[in-house]
Structure 1
């Protein structure tokens, strides 16, 4: 069987970044789950910090630079996506949103997506449900039931209860993503004929013939 192509989008701004660390942990966990199911995995990571100027240029001109085009293609052709953003002002970062604005509107239709975020306090975890999940639902992606948030205290010492809790969330979300990625993708439904409204009204007036 062909390996699962997994795209990982990280929009952390610092180096090193807890956002990138969480993205890598999720990718590793998903890869292990797929290996247990007998599937190989090819991981391609997109670091948005390196594409910030290109993303802004694309929004202004409508033409992507070669580096941005490669990133867009990696996400578009992937079988599954892990998307991780820092939380600013109670929502995803502007850089994160701008990248997904650049994608074709049908690029994520039916694609399994694991949404995750990092933030300075656990209160920001609500952004997963009222910001990230609606975003990917709007893009018609197949979002995993479990989303993952990591606050600074979640990166404690080994054996710490909070660290164990984060590892548990990562494992559960990765298992859900692996199951979706390994499942056969349904064929897109054929477009139904759209009957103009005036013809529908005319049919109601005249009735069956």
Structure 2
């Protein structure tokens, strides 16, 4: 009986994330995924299922890793409003290639909308986490006198998340760092206490 070639599943998934992030679901071919992952077709099916199952797992992984990184940065900041500004301004500071790639979750929302329930559920989960984190930071900014006292924390969190998504879409569409910086700055200035 022939022995199946061993491979690092975690590394293969990381490479699949890169392909899907760069190309999207539809544009990423199975052959391209297999080449990037360094595995054969049967190994992919055995380890991940089909291309769709691989995509869903890749999207979950991307979302978990990027959310954990962002939340760590947000919680470490001394100034809540500066932390929020940093999240928005980071898009303007990215390299041309990073801006072109945008965010895998934003790309998935643009590609699928609400047409795929499993993709939508993954994205909704990430949106909920962001909303909770942003709401908490806006409340902290109000308590510290950084943000307007009349600010509705829930509405401000939705605004910030929508601004971030818009920035990432504009970046992917070719907006310059200066344009992205201006958008982020105006968004944060609208929250500041006078």
- Larger helix percent: 2
Which structure features the higher share of strand residues? 1
Task: Select the structure of larger CA radius of gyration.
Answer: 1
Which category describes the TM-score, using the shorter chain as reference length? under 0.3
Q: TM-score, normalised by structure 2?
A: 0.27
The TM-score normalised by the length of structure 1 is 0.26
